Structure 1
Amino acid sequence: MEQLIPPEWFIGLHWSVLIGIAAAATYGLMNGADWLVHGASYLARRLGIPKVVVGATIVSLGTTSPECAVSVMAAWNGRPGLALGNAVGSIIADTGLIFGIGCLMAVLPVDRFLLSRQGWVQFGAALLLAGLCYSAFGWQGDAATLGREVGALFLTLLIVYMIMSVRWSRQRLRGLATEPDASVPAPVALPGPADLQYDEDDPAEAAPAAVAPVPEPPPPPTAAVGEAKKASVAWLLSLVVVGAATVVVTSHILIESVSELARQFGVPQVVIAATMVALGTSLPELVVGLTAVRQGHPELLVGNVIGADILNVLFVIGASAVAASLPILDPLARVPHIFLVVHLPTMLTVLILFRVFIWIACRQGHFSRWMGLPLVTLYCAYVVIQYAVS
């Protein structure tokens, strides 16, 4: 991800200038996240698609595409090892850090339709990646790589996944069209004059001339729904694209400026690598997810985490492996086998824990706040281990 904004641009700048750049980047980052979340939520209303589905497709694609482009360029430029580490690290950060913090902030809703489809694709893609990596290491030893045939397989599965996502969305729309609206109360049948018994000899019980019909309560109009209906799909899509681009660019400017500021104040390089670099790979998804929760759209967070995990395997690793074979071991690292002994086991542990929480949440109807604590703790332990072996 560091090639998107060259670090050389910030070297030698005065600390006051770096603080100003960081402040401006933070302001742009927050505004970009607001544009992305507003555009995605209005687009969901405009198209009649659940927000969790928009989060799993459009939002996750917008926040993952720049990372895919950078990983592919790194593979072309002779640094293919970045792709595997970036993709697996992003999965751990998305599920452990971002979803964990989201759970701690609010009770997150459960969408059984998405969790029973995209949720299993997320888990299956990670299992496939881990199985291929361990199989390649067992077969090829220290020279193990994920070749172009693996990349072609992942890209083929990506096409299948996108086709199935469209079909699932259509099934979802048909299901929503046939379901009654729970927000509108059912009309109550009131007795009419013919249904009542009257004593015609008693003037006090004379039958009324007519019973006025009870009007049905209109659905409560909201400003958001009105704005969503007025805005065109093209405008909302452009808002999502501009918001995603702003989030990605400003997040990297923020990370590079703060990293250079830390160097000037004497912070050790290894500490910067274990914190700023780790945060930089997941900052766009983190800001977008927390903004969605803060604005009352937690479904976008759930969908974005699941969709981003799928795309990190099928899209980022697939496209990078097609560009160049990806080495599983890093001979320049202090622990060359760190990907096999730290990254992959942590990814599998986080996703297994996530599946357990999905099972609990489907039974109780929501993700509880306490579920965020073990996920965030696991992510912090992962960062500490990376710092220790660096």
Structure 2
Amino acid sequence: MSVAFLILGFVLLVVGGEFLVRSSVALSFKLNISKIVIGLTVVSFATSAPELLVSLQAAFNGSPAIAINNVVGSNIANIGLVLGITAIVGAIVIDKSFYRLTWPVMMLFSGALYYFLWNDNQLVAVEGAILFAGLIVFIVYIIKSQKPSSDDLEEVDDALAIVSNFKIAIWLLIGASALYFGSEWLVKGATEIATSLGVSEAVIGVTMIAIGTSVPELAASVIAAAKKEKAISLGNLIGSNIFNIGSVLGLTSMIKVIPVTEPLILSRDIFWMLIFAASIVILGLLPKKNQIGKMKGFGLVLLYGIFIFLVFKG
């Protein structure tokens, strides 16, 4: 039964990713804003929904610490696994705005999270409110400051320019629903399998559950890359990491204090999150410059494999 949940979950996530990409491109036409902004907002929020729902549910059930394991593990998986695989499918061009805005903001949120947790081994409501307010400021800024760029000149399905608002809303609803239920089932199957193997909940949180809730990003990004929607692929991943910290942990800690119950999160896992976040800029400066291709993608996946090995090794 666990294997069935895994398969059904993956199918739903692929379907959800397809509908999200369609609606995102249609929105970029309808709202006359760049695709990178759509990736950083609509797609990022929808693909971060599983993390948010899992974390909120954990907070209400008296296990808010699961939120940290889930978000840190998911942010690592988004870059090491998802970006790596996406780059293998199709080389990703790094836009200049990435260096000026999105990457520094991701590092700022990551650094703030580390400081808040290191300071007193917990994330309190005030700190969560700061993270969430920062996310709102970031969203408002990128929407107001976005300018037409070469990304908008890439060939896309022109038929999406005349899609009705109602159809776009339906696509978004189908995509978000498929991603939610797909993630739930995939996580359920993965957790049952891991538990039967005698793996601890902390390890499950930072690996199995994190990978499960990152599959929406994988589905949306791989489909976008295959369709040459590279701006959406990179924007979706970076935006999702920012959303995970700002909205998922921000909102959850505003509901209930999130304690650090697993020391390895601060002494190991969060440093891996920072390393992966920094690696994108390093890869962007290596030949071929401003591009993440197959070899760099393989490197990210290999590094992620090393992280998973160390986690299970304990």
TM-score, with structure 1 as normaliser: 0.72
Quote the Cα distance in structure 1 between the aligned partners of 2:119 and 2:242. 21
Q: Which runs of 5+ in 1 are unaligned?
A: 1-14, 137-143, 184-221, 331-335
Change (3 A) 1:245 1:61: same
Per-residue deviation, 1:352: 1.5
| Preserved CA contact (<8 Å) 1:126 1:313 | yes
CA deviations over 1:17-52 (Å, ceiling 9, x no partner): x66665544443322222111221222233333322
**Is 2:312 aligned against 1:387?**
yes
CA deviations over 1:317-351 (Å, ceiling 9, x no partner): 111111111112x2xxxxx4111111111111111
| Preserved CA contact (<8 Å) 1:43 1:237 | no
Per-residue deviation, 1:123: 1.2
Query: Which of residues 244, 262, 268 in structure 1 aligns to 2:197?
Result: 268
| Preserved CA contact (<8 Å) 2:116 2:122 | no
Quote the Cα distance in structure 2 between the aligned partners of 1:376 and 1:32. 24
Quote the Cα distance in structure 1 between the aligned partners of 2:302 and 2:167. 40
The correspondence of residues 284-363 of structure 1 with structure 2, limited to 5 A, is 284-328=216-260, 330=261, 336-360=262-286
| Preserved CA contact (<8 Å) 1:293 1:301 | yes
Q: How many residues are treated as equivalent by the alignment?
A: 310
* Larger-gyration structure (1/2): 1
Quote the Cα distance in structure 1 between the aligned partners of 2:8 and 2:72. 30
Cα RMSD, aligned residues only: 2.8
* Alignment match, 1:89: 73
Query: Which of residues 8, 12, 16 in structure 2 aligns to 1:32?
Result: 16
Per-residue deviation, 1:357: 2.2
Per-residue deviation, 1:234: 4.1
**Is 2:182 aligned against 1:224?**
no
What amino acid does structure 2 have at the position aligned with 1:323?
I
Change (3 A) 1:182 1:68: closer
Quote the Cα distance in structure 1 between the aligned partners of 2:153 and 2:225. 24
Per-residue deviation, 1:360: 4.2
- Local SS of the residue matching 2:157: helix
Aligned identity (percent) is: 25
* Alignment match, 1:124: 108
The correspondence of residues 10-29 of structure 1 with structure 2, limited to 5 A, is 15=1, 23-29=7-13
Quote the Cα distance in structure 2 between the aligned partners of 1:89 and 1:106. 24
Quote the Cα distance in structure 2 between the aligned partners of 1:371 and 1:305. 16
- Local SS of the residue matching 1:78: coil
As a proportion of its length, which structure holds more helix?
Answer: 2
Query: Which of residues 113, 121, 141 in structure 2 aligns to 1:164?
Result: 141
**Is 2:2 aligned against 1:70?**
no
TM-score, with structure 2 as normaliser: 0.87
